[in-house]
Chains A and B, each alone.
Chain A
């Protein structure tokens, strides 16, 4: 076991990908609390799939991949925030439409691009092991922005998630704050696509907070716990990926799913004990 861990940390590929993977885990876990609170799970699915169109566009127009995709994802997220209200379409239908449409556009654009330049499989399922230094610095920039905004706006977002009418009556600018939240969720999706890929991004953005939801009693406690769950899942996933040569993104998401099941069943057990043993 120790040999294996030594090998793992000695491997150059893993050493280089561990730090960005942990950064992604920290940022997505922090945002996942807000995604759970505001019920934006389906939005993250929609935006992550829509980002394929952004990447396809970037490839066709020879723009830098991550910045172009980031801009596109924010645009889609804001569009989703604004669309349902003005046209009377429910939010999940709106997300479904944009999700399918931009995914179709993305597949066509990517398939038209010169194939040597595109790793469609990597885009879809993520591969942290192939991360380049430019991508690392872009991830750091994005992660910094997301965490800074989250620190400033977390309590306002939390208050709006609890009761948006009362939040508005206390003078909070609810609509601008909500748009900001959607935009930041869009950015987080892009950050996450490198690790988990378009298809699995939602896993990283929902599972950490979902694991913590059983145990948390306050915003801060939830945040700490979802970060811990996320870091544990990421490390476990990368170890698996290294040991058995599994795809890294899928391993991380699978590890998080395992943590969720453990957390869930443990909570059920604890509640059962509380009701049956402590009451006697």
Chain B
């Protein structure tokens, strides 16, 4: 058995009085699709940034692909990680074609001693995955919000990463596009053995695609595998007493039977 793609041990961040993340333990195998859900300000994005090496935790230990993430090997390890950060409010201002935006995701893009042109096929393949190939030569600034998001997702996919970290990838996408995206990710996990950690708000939208769901609010309250139910007490611990849970179907992760309706 290979080493897990990601292994987090006792990750903590923040001071004793105001913890942001506490005692996070998580292990992710090859081809696993993990969804992280939780309320606003639960530390979901922060956890993703820690795994992406953007922020050092105050305590605990991160292993990527069986190697401890450190300052000196950070670069080499991160080359195998695709990262999509949260959609920002500000508008892009650099004049760039969509294909160039996607090409920035290739590990050799910023290599200072590269003289040859980057290959075109990976870029077009990634654009095809998100149905954006017809806009390859369009000006990125003139795209709609959803098209921009799909180009950004293509950028995260273009290097064929072993681990993909996505922070609310469905933002700005309509529900049909969201579903297509989750299907694409599921398919990539199954076919290429890519592992995905995805932060999302809407557990109902992701539950039929992911392998497991982690409920995060400062700490991981529950880690449910497919087909497993998340007890109502967990939801209440995470979101407070006012939440009510509505059941979808028995195959859906997280929904308890006989619940009533959404708050």
Contact = CB atoms under 8 A, between A and B. Distances in A.
Contacts of B54: 165, 168-169
B104 A162 contact: yes
Contacts of A218: 95-97, 100
B85 A216 contact: no
Nearest to B83: A169
Interface residues of A, number: 25
A85 interface: no
Nearest to B156: A166
Contacts of A166: 83-85, 104, 155
A161 interface: yes
Interface residues of B, number: 30
Contacts of B96: 162, 217-219
A166 B111 CA distance: 16
B94 A158 contact: yes
A169 B95 contact: no
Contacts of A219: 96, 100
Given A159-B110, A170-B78, A217 B97 contact: yes
Contact of A161 (B94, B105, B112, B139): B94
A147 to B, nearest CB: 14
A169 B52 contact: yes
Interface in B85-125: 85, 92, 94-97, 100-101, 104-105, 107, 109-113
A153 interface: yes
A168 B111 CA distance: 14
Classify the secondary structure of B's interface with A: loop
Nearest to B106: A170
B248 interface: no
A32 to B, nearest CB: 14
A171 interface: yes
Interface in A156-179: 156, 158-159, 161-163, 165-173
A170 B83 contact: yes
A158 to B, nearest CB: 7
Contacts of A217: 95-97, 139
Contact of A169 (B78, B94, B110, B113): B78
Interface in A134-191: 152-153, 155-156, 158-159, 161-163, 165-173
A152 B100 CA distance: 18
Interface centre among A37, A168, A216, A222 (most CB of B within 10 A): A168
Contact of B105 (A168, A170, A222): A170
Nearest to B113: A152
16 contacts: A152-B112, A152-B113, A153-B112, A155-B111, A156-B112, A159-B109, A161-B94, A166-B83, A166-B84, A167-B110, A169-B54, A170-B78, A170-B83, A171-B79, A217-B96, A222-B95
5 closest Cβ contacts across the A-B interface? Answer: A169-B83, A171-B75, A152-B112, A171-B78, A156-B110
A216 B105 contact: no
Nearest to B78: A171
Contacts of B100: 218-219
A72 interface: no
Contacts of A163: 85
